[in-house]
Amino acid sequence: MRLFTYAGVAWSIYREIKIQKQYNKLFLLPYLHQLETKHNGNFKDEQKQKICNYYGLFITSFLCSSYKKLQGKKLSDAERKRATLFGILTPVGDDLFDEDKLDIESIRSITFHPESYTAATFTAQVAKEIQTFLLQDVPHKSEYLQAAKNVLDIQIETVKQTNQAISQQELENITYTKGAVSVIIYHQCLDEVADEKMKEVLFLIGSLYQLGNDIFDLYKDVRDHIYTLVNTCDDYHAFRKDFQERIRLQNQKIMSLPYPEKNKKAFCFVMNTINARSLVALDKFVHMQKKNGKKPDWWQLQRSDMIVDMEKPRNFLKWLYYAYKLPVLK
């Protein structure tokens, strides 16, 4: 029976992604072109890929529509627009730090008072326009602003990850908090804000997603000398075990939410489709460490050693297996 339930949820995800793809074709892509024309600039290819194929597609489809379905509702057109726009703002916000090298006060101005900020770069102009709209359009401005503050605060903290001497405790705090605030702010873009119980769930979901992001960004982080829980790990077997324990706690928190049982089970399945990918990658790292008898020195290895090809039949089948098993990990 569980197999048929998951098949139904998988079909629902597929339909939602199709809806968002069509929305991106009609709204997102023309809007990106409009921004380039209006502000006399261009999104870099890598940045546009992130927006169109990840933040503006899967995040909206997986997170925001799932939040609504958990409540027994559908993502409205207004909510979809806000979530999609924030999907542009997410990587653009990263570039304010990494590419534009804006000072903290300038980024605070764009975050809290964008309408009065004088933007000098294309990225800053885009961030100003989108944040101005969101502050005018979100139904619960104070909750959205608090979520934005939390995102900004942890973004500032991530500079510590360029220091090789960073402690594991600091890495854990940055990783888990960064992931948590990222998924919470998408919820605060919607008509209903996340209450404290939902935030507890989102903290665990976000922390797992950030770990997954660091797993699949292993090569990029090593290349850029950014230190993460993944590339500084001493014992991948223990890491994998801890990862599963966080999934178990996440599932327990989800199932304690005050929503219909079938909605919670479907939500749990969707959230764990991402964690299942991460577990496949962790299997590779566990095998590497066991085979070599020591932890991998990622800075001495090739790019191919760090990349996990999820399109390989074996990895794809393992992903399906974990996607089926993880939601019932309690």
| pLDDT 10s digits, 107-118 | 999 999 999 999
Domain membership flag for residue 189: no
Does residue 259 have a pLDDT over 90? yes
Closest among 67, 75, 73 to 257, alpha carbons compared: 67
The Cα–Cα gap between 124 and 132 comes to 12
Say whether both 2 and 127 belong to one domain. Answer: yes
Domain membership flag for residue 182: no
In the three-class reduction of DSSP (H, G, I as helix; E, B as strand; rest coil), residue 117 is classed as coil
Q: What is the pLDDT of residue 49?
A: 87
Query: Average pLDDT in the 242-251 region?
Result: 97
Count of domains observed in the chain: 2
pLDDT in tens, 18-39: 999 999 999 999 999 999 999 9
Domain termination residue (choose one: 109, 137, 165): 137
Say whether both 199 and 327 belong to one domain. Answer: yes
Question: Number of H helices and number of E strands within the chain?
Answer: 15, 0
245: Cβ–Cβ under 8 A, 6 or more apart, which residues? none
Domain membership flag for residue 130: yes
Domain membership flag for residue 204: yes
Domain termination residue (choose one: 102, 122, 137): 137
Amino acid residing at 201: V
User: What band does 2 get if pLDDT is binned at 50, 70 and 90?
Assistant: low
Q: What is the pLDDT of residue 3?
A: 66
Q: What is the pLDDT of residue 4?
A: 63
Q: What is the pTM of this model?
A: 0.90
Domain membership flag for residue 178: no
Say whether both 22 and 89 belong to one domain. Answer: yes
Domain membership flag for residue 149: no
Say whether both 125 and 199 belong to one domain. Answer: no
pLDDT in tens, 121-144: 999 999 999 999 999 999 999 999
Q: What is the pLDDT of residue 45?
A: 86
Domain membership flag for residue 8: yes
In the three-class reduction of DSSP (H, G, I as helix; E, B as strand; rest coil), residue 188 is classed as coil
Q: What is the pLDDT of residue 1?
A: 47
Cβ–Cβ < 8 Å for 74, 190: no
Domain membership flag for residue 179: no
The Cα–Cα gap between 24 and 103 comes to 32
- Domain of residue 46: give its range: 1-137
Instruction: Tell the residue number behind the tokens 């401005």, with chain if given.
Output: 141
Say whether both 244 and 316 belong to one domain. Answer: yes
